[in-house]
Amino acid sequence: MKKRKELFSAEAVLDNLNTELIGRRVAFFPVVSSTMDAARDLVHEGVPEGTVVIAEEQTAGRGRLTRSWMTPRGNIALSVILFPHLSQLPEMIMLASLGVAQSIQKVTAIKPDIKWPNDILIGGKKVCGILLEADARFTQGTQVAYVIIGIGINVNLQPVDYADIASTATSLSVVAHKDLSRLSLVQALLQEMDKLFVELKSGRSLFTKWRARLITLGQPVTVTSVDSVFTGIAESVELDGSLFVRCPDGELKRVVAGDVTLTENSGKR
Ligand code: BTN
């Protein structure tokens, strides 16, 4: 029997989407260079907070630390535009990674882990990458932050088809052993992120929930930061999201931005 193709469009995403803010407006592109660029253009046009940009395919998708991100059709590539209070900027990473982890768990019943700061892994392999780009803009003379949260989820990708990521990445269809609805996943993701953003706006912190999902703590890690590479044991995380790593000579180093590889399983994408 021929498989019915799922309708994946702005209208379909908005249909029955029960959110307060995220998904107020959805812009859908069949092909775009990067949803990050499209989202930034929309910020400058003055779109409302909560606008979501979704692409079927990205031709120049980007990842953290100047890496590229491949988005063939059948996966999820989206960016969410938020205007948080400046003090909430560190929690945007927590909001994004928790939103992804919780929504995957809702739809598939599989519980993903978070690798510091915001990679989503299943069985030690990367299923989702998150990229945050923040800047300031002026509204009626006041400077406010805007954050673009870019999320790429491997849904129907077959990592074995791509040599670069074959051993380090996985996809939801691989772990669930079936095709999954991108529409259900995107709607669940927007719903979970919306709930978390409302929590944050009402003054509650996402830190405890985020830390509980981190697989990095207590593990031997290799840290690649802007200016150095070092190893140690990931000891703790701070309220602002930074990571403390105990080095072999006893020194405790604080990592604010960088890439962490779990030494026993160098899962990286
Ligand atoms: C990483 O793990 O390095 C982050 C990957 C982020 C990929 C997403 S896909 C949607 C959005 N558009 C991009 O160009 N990148 C992000």
Does the beta carbon of 155 sit less than 6 angstroms from any atom of ligand 1?
Answer: no
Does the beta carbon of 118 sit less than 6 angstroms from any atom of ligand 1?
Answer: no
pLDDT-derived band at 141, boundaries 50, 70, 90: low
Q: How far is the CA of 131 from the centre of ligand 1 (A)?
A: 5
**What is Dmax (Cα atoms) for the chain?**
63
> What amino acid is encoded at 231 in this protein?
T
Q: How far apart are CA 186 and CA 183, in angstroms?
A: 5
Beta-strand ranges (E) seen in 202-251 are: 220-224, 229-237, 243-246
Q: Which atom of ligand 1 is nearest to the CA of 65?
A: 3
Q: Which atom of ligand 1 is nearest to the CA of 64?
A: 3
Does the beta carbon of 72 sit less than 6 angstroms from any atom of ligand 1?
Answer: no
| C-alpha distance across the termini of the chain, in Å | 36
Q: How far apart are CA 37 and CA 26, in angstroms?
A: 15
| Bridge partner list, 134 | 147
Task: Give the model confidence (pLDDT) of 143-179 as tens digits.
Answer: 567 899 999 999 998 999 988 889 999 999 999 999 8
In the chain, what percentage of residues exceed pLDDT 70?
Answer: 93
Q: Give the distance, in angstroms, between the CA of residue 94 and the centroid of all CA atoms in the same chain.
A: 9
Q: Which atom of ligand 1 is nearest to the CA of 119?
A: 2
4 has pLDDT over 70: no
Does the beta carbon of 193 sit less than 6 angstroms from any atom of ligand 1?
Answer: no
Q: How far is the CA of 132 from the centre of ligand 1 (A)?
A: 9
Q: Whose CA is nearest to atom 10 of ligand 1?
A: 77
Q: How far is the CA of 237 from the centre of ligand 1 (A)?
A: 24
Task: Give the model confidence (pLDDT) of 118-129 as tens digits.
Answer: 899 999 999 999
Q: Average pLDDT, stretch 94-105?
A: 98
Report the pLDDT value the prediction gives residue 140, as an integer from 0 to 100: 56
Q: How far is the CA of 249 from the centre of ligand 1 (A)?
A: 36
Task: Give the model confidence (pLDDT) of 187-220 as tens digits.
Answer: 999 999 999 999 999 999 999 999 999 999 999 9
Does the beta carbon of 59 sit less than 6 angstroms from any atom of ligand 1?
Answer: no
